Amino acid sequence: MASTLLEILRTIPDHRRDEGKRFDLDAVLLYTIIGMVAGANSYRQMHEFIRIHRRRLNEAFGLDMRYAPSYTGLREIIQGVDAAELEKAFRAHASSLTPAAAPEGMVAIAVDGKTLRGSFDAFTDQKAAHMLSALRHVDQIVLGHLMVAEKSNEIPAAPELIEALGVTGCLFTLDAQHCQKNCSNA
């Protein structure tokens, strides 16, 4: 049974106290995600997007956000969200989306790693972050991703990501570096 993104966002625990809470977390997250997809790249742009489209979004999703949160309010709300819970919600949503039928009858998933540009810090001697992602070929949906440990590489992280996805009967495509006995049997 496919759940909507809004239903899945409602499962994320709200870190804020009940007193003085003006905005529902699920509505803020949903409108922020839509704003980012529409091109908003900063808290100010997200605030402006929500301010302009709030009535239309409320009508479309059956929500009741009376006014847009300020950009500083958005920042505080979003920065307080547990990243692991948000990741779990996105994985649940991605896995609930039914893939289009693959021509060969088998669903293929690409697993590939990328170093995140600008993520290194020369001052603290922190190496660049490396992310391993799984993408379903048929509909280009990212099913999940995993940060590769700083003192590690993609090889031990790939089986961990595949296991975390919990999918069976799929064909996984990986780089040549994964052509090792312990990787091919994972």
Write out pLDDT tens, residues 22-53.
899 999 999 999 999 999 999 999 999 999 99
Six-digit token string for 62: 């059956």
Rounded to whole angstroms, how far apart are CA atoms 51 and 175?
44
The number of residues in the chain equals: 186
Query: What would the pLDDT profile of 114-139 be if each residue is shown by its tens digit?
Result: 888 777 776 777 777 788 888 888 87
pLDDT at 1: 42
The rounded distance, in Å, linking the Cα atoms of 177 and 50 is 44
Q: Is 20's pLDDT higher than 80?
A: no
Tell me the average pLDDT of the chain.
84
pTM for the full predicted model:
0.66
Domain parsing of the chain, residue ranges: 5-85, 102-184
Q: Where are the alpha helices (DSSP H) in 14-168?
A: 25-37, 43-61, 71-79, 83-96, 154-165
Q: Are strands 107-115 and 170-173 parallel, antiparallel or unpaired?
A: parallel
What gap in Å lies between CA 63 and CA 88, rounded to an integer? 23
